[in-house]
Amino acid sequence: MAYERLWLEFGSRGEMEARDVIADRLRWDPSHPLSLGRAGRAALLYELLVVRSGEQVAALRDHTAVVRISPQGRPFGPVVVHLSHSYVEPAYRGTGLIAWLRALPLQTARRAAQAAAAVLVAALVAGVRHAGLPLTGAHAPLGMGVTGAGDPFDVAGSLVRAAAAQPALLLEAAALAAVAALLPAAIARGRWGAAGLGALMLAATLLPVPAAAALPLVLAAWITAAFVALRAGT
């Protein structure tokens, strides 16, 4: 059904692949990289997604995430996502749904990268005596060097060095601070502002830090967008 709807929209213009090509792509498994000839190998993940409203199809999109694999079998370089088609049914246009469709490939990219690195991740041994840092999941340092500090400036310097050693956490904090700063502007723009801020939050928190925990950030983005939409309607 999803393929037929995309074919109806894009096939007549020569902008949609044949059914057997799509069927082959759906069988791609990023945990089993494919050979690309001279370009080496890559983990590929293709998704054809359907967004429903009740029993009705509201939107569709498809895309492919590509993770390059080194000769040593390790993922390297950025995850590239090829955005193929994006379509919103007429009844759902102007609702901000297209902004969420643009954010969906981020999750595909993360899954492809995680699957490609599964063997390496399984080989890592995590510390068991302290919890991971929020958002990034990185291990908290066992000490920050403040025990022997002689004055407030020593303490401040130790804390700054500890924070600088966690650039991913700093990026997440900066992204969330930017989202907070943009809240009033988003509320003033109503539903479009809610959708735009949610999509921006997903991109700003997930793209720069591939290792960040996706679920809490996605939930936070949805809650933030819902809050903005509710405030805009009051």
Contacts of 16 (CB under 8 A, 6+ apart): 6, 7, 9, 10, 85
Question: pLDDT for 22-45, tens place per residue?
Answer: 999 999 988 888 888 877 889 899
129 or 152, greater pLDDT: 152
Q: What is the pLDDT of residue 227?
A: 85
Using DSSP, state whether 17 is helix, strand or coil.
coil
d(CA 112, CA 31): 8
The pLDDT of residue 137 is 56
Per residue in 135-182, pLDDT tens? 555 554 544 444 454 555 554 454 455 555 566 766 777 787 778 778
Average pLDDT of the segment spanning 97-120: 72
223-227: average pLDDT: 87
Residues ≥6 apart with Cβ < 8 Å to 62 = 6, 22, 46, 47, 48, 49, 84, 85
**What is residue 74's predicted lDDT score, i.e. its pLDDT?**
74
pLDDT in tens, 47-73: 999 998 888 999 999 999 898 887 767
Whether pLDDT at 95 is above 60: yes
User: In the chain, where do the E strands start and end?
Assistant: 34-35, 41-53, 56-69, 75-88
Q: Facing residues of 62 across strands?
A: 48, 85
The per-residue pLDDT for 136 is 52
One-letter amino acid of 9:
E
Strand partners, 83: 63
Which residues are CB-contacts of 11 (< 8 A; sequence separation ≥ 6)?
A: none
pLDDT score for 4:
93
Does pLDDT of 84 surpass 80? Answer: yes
